[in-house]
Structure 1
């Protein structure tokens, strides 16, 4: 299939919601209720946007929230600063499932997370000087450290054949690819799939499209880029009128809309004057479709 967006320099994201988020993050499309979920980490908010009604609902929590993923039992799994919680959207009931293994020692917090094809939750932490890690949370809620020495754990994605996992530690400017065993959840043989040039910004959240290409939000880069993870080649870019672009996810009925979150934090007053909608939620129709997000599969007794 031709990568027909490659030479389109005019691909620009449009503002959808002017939320002025301090740190918008973690966009994910839930195919069950056809809504987009995302968070504002600093403001401790969970957002839920319904494209049919254009209504954005918001829930506030007592601590920072960094990840939201749908669960097969109809709840949402949330990563808050001190642990992983189950959240009943209709009642607002919050139930602690698992403590953050690093919170007591370092003040590290959970950051980005996604579910693998078998429904395990992969969740990373962030902290100073390589004190963070990447964890895998299985159906029985057991937690396994899979990578140590991480600084800012961010985007995670899986190839459609379930044989490769892509992972971003933002400070390294790289996307690392692993051989991935879907039966066991083991990762092995890491290699550098994509190197992001410093002048493009730092890689943050990511998502795969139906052609197997990886879209990466670029912190400090005013853009989201599309790369071929097999060759490391940049195929195209979506310009975003905000300096710090944080995550992206395909959504909409046909999974053909790319939703992009941004942040106001770490932008100067001058940059915010130039880009007043920084922190907003943006969209673009890039001409390719995404793939459905995986849900967390809880083990039933």
Structure 2
């Protein structure tokens, strides 16, 4: 895993793109735009994405065994029929709270839908704390709350032997593990297997690879961390900003003459430069003019000191960015 290649496949301009799931039946990649309030389906054939707009923040999407999808919409588990663009509420959680919504969610190996809630954010990662909970939607449409007092319920996945459940509550800066009973869906014996440092930023989404290692995306950190859940050690860090710089095709910077000369009088220093060094005749008359006009000299000196920056190129501002098969819900 020393060399990792990263490619952007869907350039749809999501506000908060999350929950990637591969739909093998449709041969398409599903994902959601939470605050954009839409579920998207991207085709590798057409390299285009279709989207269904919804009436609330949609935070995760899962495959349904009987066809189509199940989503977490606001504080609801809901069924989504793609062709009909029809949403049907299955059940609602957090009925006693007016300011929460679902966040990340996934289906476990036995076909149960795990998803957690959080308070609505005032601004990114700033919110009323301890308002969230972790829930499971069972195939019989019953819902179980595992625990509450959650800040931002986030990444979750299961070990390859299905005996351990991994979970992230973002503001705890911890990746946690639980003993997991595949038959009943019960979890217990919570413990921290990796504690992130503040400079690693906030742990967000998470998945497990074919070697049983965890990949954790760091919100506002521009990186993904690969962890060994057995040893609690960080194995690899992918700096997203570094990848962007490395893969970015640089285009020659075009000089915007309209912008440069649009300020007119304030670029007098460039004119002065041409007159002084390119033409002695103009230099003589310009020098004479400066001697006669003290007020103009004063103004020129201010312009020279304040507006030298257009003579030098501006720094380039880089654009900041911030196996997906999943089990199907047994419905």
TM-score with structure 2 length normalisation? 0.72
1:47 paired with 2:46, answer: no
Residue matched to 1:212: 212
On the 8 A contact 2:20/2:324 being kept in 1, the answer is no
Task: Decide which structure has greater strand share.
Answer: 1
- Secondary structure (helix, strand or coil) at the match of 1:79 reads strand
Structure 1 residue 106: Cα displacement: 3.4
Structure 1: runs of 5 or more not aligned: 243-272, 280-289
Q: Find the partner of 1:81 among 71, 74, 77.
A: 74
Number of the residue aligned with 1:109: 101
Deviations 1:25-68 (A, max 9, x none): 11122233232111111110111111122121111111111110
* Counterparts of residues 143-222 of structure 1 (less than 5 Å): 143-222=143-222
Superposed, 1:11-160 pairs within 5 Å as: 11=4, 13-99=6-92, 101-127=93-119, 128-160=128-160
Structure 1 equivalent of residue 330 of structure 2: 297
Rg bigger for which structure? 2
User: Does structure 1 conserve the Cα–Cα contact (< 8 Å) formed by 2:9 and 2:47?
Assistant: no
Give CA-to-partner distance per residue, 1:89-141, whole Å, 9 cap, x none. 11112111111x21552310011100111000001001221011000111111
Q: Give deviations 1:178-214, integer Å, cap 9, x for gaps.
A: 0000001000111111112211111111111000001
Counterpart position of 2:318: 274
RMSD: 2.0
Shift of 1:12: 5.7
TM-score (norm: length of structure 1):
0.79
SS of structure 2 residue aligned to 1:168: strand
Partner SS state of residue 87, structure 2: strand
* Structure 2 Cα separation of the partners of residues 82 and 116 of structure 1: 20
Higher helix fraction: Structure 1 or Structure 2?
A: 2
Alignment of 1:212-251 (within 5 A): 212-241=212-241
Structure scoring higher RCO (CA < 8 A, sep ≥ 6) equals 1
| 8 Å Cα contact 1:13-1:240 kept in structure 2 | no
Q: Which structure 1 residue ranges, 4+ long, deviate > 6 Å from structure 2?
A: none
* C-alpha distance in structure 2 between counterparts of 1:219 and 1:47, whole Å: 21
- Secondary structure in structure 2 of the residue aligned to 1:191: strand
Write the distance in 2 (CA, Å) between the matches of 1:205 and 1:238: 15
CA contact (8 A) 2:225 2:238 kept: yes
Residues 33 and 39 of structure 2 are in contact (CA less than 8 Å); yes or no, is this contact kept in structure 1? yes
> Is the contact between residue 103 and residue 109 of structure 1 (CA under 8 Å) also seen in structure 2?
no
Secondary structure of the equivalent of 1:146?
strand
Structure 2 unaligned spans of 5+? 120-127, 243-316
Kept after mapping to 2: 8 A contact 1:200/1:220: no
